[in-house]
Structure 1
Amino acid sequence: MTWIYIGIFVLSAVISAFSAVKLSKHADTISKQTKLGGVLTGTILLAVATSLPELTATISASLIGSADIAVGNGLGSVLFNIFVLFVLDLYFRKQRLFLRVAHSHVYTGVIALLLSVVTAVSLAVNASFSVLNIGLTSFLIALIYGGGMWLISKIQTENDSEQKDEPPTASTSIRQTVKRFILYALVILVFGSSLSLSGDAIAQNTFISASTIGSILVAFATSIPDAMGVYTALKLANVNMAIGTILGSNVFNILVIAIGDVFYFRGDIWQDTSSDLMYMSIVGFILTALVMIIVKRDHTRNTFTYILPSSTAVVMYLIVLGFILF
């Protein structure tokens, strides 16, 4: 039976990765042929689409009453997404793509930092504050996310209004591109969900703790579309969409936990989650701060100084991974 789950896991991973590549290419077309641009397309459109597996996995875990898997999946995906970004930064180091990043991503980074603090404090405080079994932390997260996305959209709109260059003429039908984008998003939703559920089924036979399952195995499985989407964006030299996708996915993944709280009927999901996951929020805060350092750089002296933040982040992630496993 385990081999069947492994087969489903591998097949779902391949289909999810393929769909994410297609999704990213269509998002690149949308960003270049509409007024959205790479920042908004990555931060909202592509970020949410590639994070659909995290949403379904977290809701599923909440429905079965596994708070550790639900919260661990969201926080683990945050760490893995940033890890992927830094690894790809090292891979594309000769092009130094991240020196061309729009500074407006800092706003998304600030939202991510704020959400990291909120989640860390909520997991550290051993007290329950809820309304209709929904934690006040979840309401606060939803408020920060909604307000943050509104602010980013407003800032991007103001920046676009200051640009006098006409947008490029569309070479392909935007309507068809949007339809294909939605199609591949649905494929990711279906097979990404299959990926997370089969990964969870495999893990149940290995005597691994629920928090480790959620923060490593399920988080890795559901983050495959994000990783492939970012890789494709960087291959297309659309670095703003890549950064936007990672930061946008991360703030959405925190919102996903709040959504999962709605489907957790045993009380406050933050109260029932292991406090050990608090450290993942702290590490997420540090790694997000390193992303903001990269975003703010306009130049660097040499290759060593360029790769230093990314190398530090990769080592830090591997240390945290080793701490969780052993």
Structure 2
Amino acid sequence: MVLFLFILAAAIVVFAAVQLNKYGDVISEKSTLSGAMVGGLLIAGATSLPELTTSLTAVYIDNPDIAVGNMLGSNVFNLLILASVDLFYRKRRAFNQLRSSEQVPSVIAGIIFTGLVVVAILWNETPSFLDIGLEMYLLVIGYILVLKMFDGNPEGQTDESAAESRNINITLKRAVVNFILFALIVFASGSVLSITGDRLAEISGMNASFVGSVLIAASTSLPELVTVVVAFRMANYAMAAGSILGSNIFNLMLLVVTDAFYRESAILQGTSPAMIWTALLGVLMMIVMLYILMRKDKQTNIGYAWPSILIVLMYLVLSYMIF
């Protein structure tokens, strides 16, 4: 019964999160809140809401491993999605068509931010203020700097005319109402996902790190899979890569919110040391992604697929080790 509820909640999260993305897109286009940065925050918030609600519920039931593992695991699963879809469409050589100037800053920010999380977990006695770890304050400062870097940059924006043609029959009022409705659905189903995941770990004997980093993280990242597949089918590879890399940075900001709600201590001090492996995997996968974006042989066919294969293999090996 617990497994059935877990799967059902995961399915509802995926469906509701895809709808959130749809209506969030309409709101960013048709309201006075439109604009590159605000619209991007709205969409990023929509697709990342499953991770937030799931982790907050995990905090409520006092399971920091699921809370932190969900965020870090979602990031590595997002990169797995990007690499796997690239392999499926490998004949298109999508990564060869990306502008490194548009994507590299997000990758570097992701490496630095995740590296900061690794240091905090290893240190285990990082200073805290108001029971929030020092590393979280540094993450917020870094995120603000990243936003300022991209604010007003016209590159990488979506084709507004194409987006408007997709959403021409949806009014702003309807979009707002539906956005709130599906946000509530995500909140409820995400909570069920955490509670059943916690019970699943107890019943099956699986550790909470594996449940949070792999099972729940994969469930809450499925909306990103839909986004990437659609972007590849539209041959909009910049949107596919940008959505994943941007979502990963946003997820780390949600980790800050999770820490604020965890009142026992700084949340990274309460997590299992096994969480270091998930964080390190994220760093390694982003380093490979950085190589993909900066390699000099972009126009050749030799060895194009091996970095994506490496990302997939690293994920499978690490998941087995955690399990």
Same fold, TM-score > 0.5, yes or no: yes
2:96 is the counterpart of 1:99: yes
Indicate the larger mover: 218-227 or 76-85: 218-227
Q: 1:187 to 1:63 in 2, by over 3 A?
A: closer
Counterparts in 2 of 1:180-259, with a 5 A limit?
A: 184=182, 187-259=185-257
For 2:10, the equivalent position in structure 1 comes to: 13
Contact 1:12 / 1:195 at 8 angstroms: preserved in 2? yes
The alpha carbon displacement at 1:25 in A equals 5.7
Q: 1:264 to 1:220 in 2, by over 3 A?
A: same
What is the distance in 2 between the residues matched to 1:210 and 1:149?
33
2:310 is the counterpart of 1:309: no
For 1:71, the equivalent position in structure 2 comes to: 68
2:77 is the counterpart of 1:80: yes
The alpha carbon displacement at 1:147 in A equals 2.2
The SS at the match of 1:282 is helix
The SS at the match of 2:268 is coil
Indicate the larger mover: 99-108 or 195-204: 195-204
For 2:138, the equivalent position in structure 1 comes to: 140
The alpha carbon displacement at 1:241 in A equals 2.0
Q: 1:196 to 1:289 in 2, by over 3 A?
A: same
Q: 1:205 to 1:127 in 2, by over 3 A?
A: same
What is the distance in 2 between the residues matched to 1:191 and 1:69?
16
Q: 1:21 to 1:127 in 2, by over 3 A?
A: closer
Indicate the larger mover: 210-219 or 186-195: 186-195
Q: 1:228 to 1:197 in 2, by over 3 A?
A: farther
In the TM superposition, what whole-angstrom CA distance separates every residue of 1:280-303 from its partner, at most 9, and x where no partner exists?
A: 22221111122233334683311x
The alpha carbon displacement at 1:22 in A equals 4.7
Contact 2:25 / 2:43 at 8 angstroms: preserved in 1? no
For 1:61, the equivalent position in structure 2 comes to: 58
Q: 1:185 to 1:290 in 2, by over 3 A?
A: farther
What is the distance in 1 between the residues matched to 2:80 and 2:282?
10
Q: 1:14 to 1:58 in 2, by over 3 A?
A: closer
2:275 is the counterpart of 1:277: yes
Contact 1:53 / 1:196 at 8 angstroms: preserved in 2? no
Contact 2:26 / 2:175 at 8 angstroms: preserved in 1? no
The alpha carbon displacement at 1:267 in A equals 1.3
The alpha carbon displacement at 1:65 in A equals 2.4
Q: 1:48 to 1:306 in 2, by over 3 A?
A: farther
The alpha carbon displacement at 1:75 in A equals 1.1
Q: 1:309 to 1:300 in 2, by over 3 A?
A: farther
The alpha carbon displacement at 1:270 in A equals 1.7
For 1:117, the equivalent position in structure 2 comes to: 115
Name structure 2 gaps, 5 residues minimum.
none
Contact 2:55 / 2:68 at 8 angstroms: preserved in 1? yes
Identity of aligned residues (%): 35
Contact 2:118 / 2:280 at 8 angstroms: preserved in 1? yes
2:317 is the counterpart of 1:319: yes
The SS at the match of 2:84 is helix
In the TM superposition, what whole-angstrom CA distance separates every residue of 1:241-268 from its partner, at most 9, and x where no partner exists?
A: 2212211121122222221111111112
Q: 1:29 to 1:235 in 2, by over 3 A?
A: farther
Q: 1:63 to 1:27 in 2, by over 3 A?
A: closer
Contact 1:89 / 1:310 at 8 angstroms: preserved in 2? yes
What is the distance in 2 between the residues matched to 1:191 and 1:47?
19
Q: 1:24 to 1:130 in 2, by over 3 A?
A: closer
Contact 1:117 / 1:281 at 8 angstroms: preserved in 2? yes
The alpha carbon displacement at 1:198 in A equals 2.9
Q: 1:234 to 1:45 in 2, by over 3 A?
A: farther
For 2:288, the equivalent position in structure 1 comes to: 290
TM-score between the two structures when normalised by the length of structure 1: 0.83
Indicate the larger mover: 221-230 or 28-37: 28-37
Contact 2:13 / 2:50 at 8 angstroms: preserved in 1? no
What is the distance in 2 between the residues matched to 1:32 and 1:299?
35
